[in-house]
Structure 1
């Protein structure tokens, strides 16, 4: 593998330095390292980050290859600066056995665009009635450590307790989709002023908050790890903050769209804004940003949820829930967190690479940009601004809420163990 010299990039937004990649590792970081026979990338003004890690991605394969495949999803990930993604279990068949998670793991290896770590289902068929083969999935070639019924809540407290007890034995984590089902029957959007005016079924904040409160107490009782998926309300922030103050082993994520968009957009009845959990109020958005800045919310995760055209281009009530996000996540975080002064680029690296890699135990990812470390890297041009054009997405689906919206920043290069997967904004 040839040498690559990244010249003049601001490492984590700090001083401009040269970074030499030799094979799969970073050989040197500094000013003017020896680089004979190296391919030179002029990166003046650009930011060099450790490769991004997404703890919450829907790759849809097996079963819904009409919306995404492991190959197209990982190409989208590389385009967005990601070197590792965790693939959710709500596939067809469900990833609730060693055989299915090994299939997804193998497809990820074959794609070559980023590392794919399968997430195993907590319960058989995501039905919430019987624990899935957690131990067998962990002991498989995929080495699953994160388990989730995402898309559905593990609403039975006894099942949730048993799952937390089971994964504790091997240091795993249960990632909960916090949604009390009986409080959200027929819900179409956030419950509030806008839902009342539009006549759409309301999705109350308490449906999320009540499950989080229960689960952090269960995690404390068991002494196990729980992770909260796509946290979306100000009240949820306060519960997680309280739990952390008690020393409960809880982590939480927020999506880019919940950092930027509000339920006011639903007035258009455009199904592109239909998502689970729903877009909330401006008050919630501001609380989420502050919580991400102060560390109450640990990470940004995309909840990349691709859908084919026919599942979103229909009336609101019939539309599927979800948005694609891998290719726009870093730009949204730059706009909402960096340009507002809430995070610097080192903070972005922490929330989008270091901590998600640690939570999911993604070996070789989220590492410092220093000599001897794996060359999993992302290079971004923060000065770029332009409208989002989904026609250019690598994802198989186009259900983005940002079409035509001007966003800052552009990933120019992505490196997976020293091999360029994205070069000058184009897939290698």
Structure 2
């Protein structure tokens, strides 16, 4: 009897499941020349249990392995992507393929989500970015983590209680101190570029030069940037007498050496600085020489000063038909019209506004500030309220500066010698001027 071979393991397998396992049928590609020497494919080593995907359903596609990140790719120039402001929706990155729909021109992103197709790309952050950037961690802000501390009082019985208790009892500031602190913060508004202020009046003796010096000193003492006042009065201006002279140089000397001014220390040789950091560029004492200060000369002077100063105040003369006045009005960002508390002073200031409106400067008149100077309380018969009401209808704001004995002296001005009411009025005037600063941050050539 012939001996039958033993049945193999495949002989008892289900006839419907005749396909061998996947790991046995995966073979390496063979060379065609060696096809005769290989009767069956050789199995390759298994790639592992997790790579088989044996339990994946036929309807679900097998996910492709993630691409390995290229760590040698250069970092984008923008660095970390800017986050949308707190509360604004996030639209995700822009698609790389063709736009699925029309360009999104819907409402403000903080409103309801637009209907229709997804926007083609992210709306620029500048469309809804606030003026003051908010903290990216609102829950970890200073106000949320730290207990608010009241500012220490500086005057009066509140200060006495604060010091007597060993700084343990702090009842807070008074309303007057809070108002003062708010004015200081308003004066410190950020300013991009150079802001030019022209102070003028048709009538002499109303304190136009005094307002220029005191306003400039107030701005310079509070703000951290540079402030300069230019004397453009052709009739022997007295602006240089409001500060102690540190140099005999004048605006004519600066124009002569304008091509050699390359840094702030160069232009500083031609100015005098007062105790409150206000710098003054004097004019020539000879009226015949000063009258030659023309409109191109003033423009060249501003071209030099605006490279190094953030605020430039110009003390104009009483003659509006002066040769330099056309350049002053063309370059000014705002005007300050000075009037006295008398009838003829108010009429002269109103006539100044009439002349400006008649010569195409309506915009400057609407944005101007009227200052009623040297107002004496409870004296005279002029109804100051009616004067204020008249200029309020024509100017952006009206402010009164009270009479001060230190300003009546006509010598060098020091803010420390002024009465508290005068200093507060000048601070209020500086805040009104700062309210006219441009809201956008323009890149300026200041250094």
Which has more radius of gyration? Answer: 2
Higher strand proportion (structure 1 or 2): 1
With the shorter chain as reference, the TM-score category is: 0.3 to 0.5
**TM-score normalized by structure 2?**
0.35
Point out which structure has higher relative CO (alpha carbons under 8 A, 6+ apart).
Answer: 1
**TM-score normalized by structure 1?**
0.36
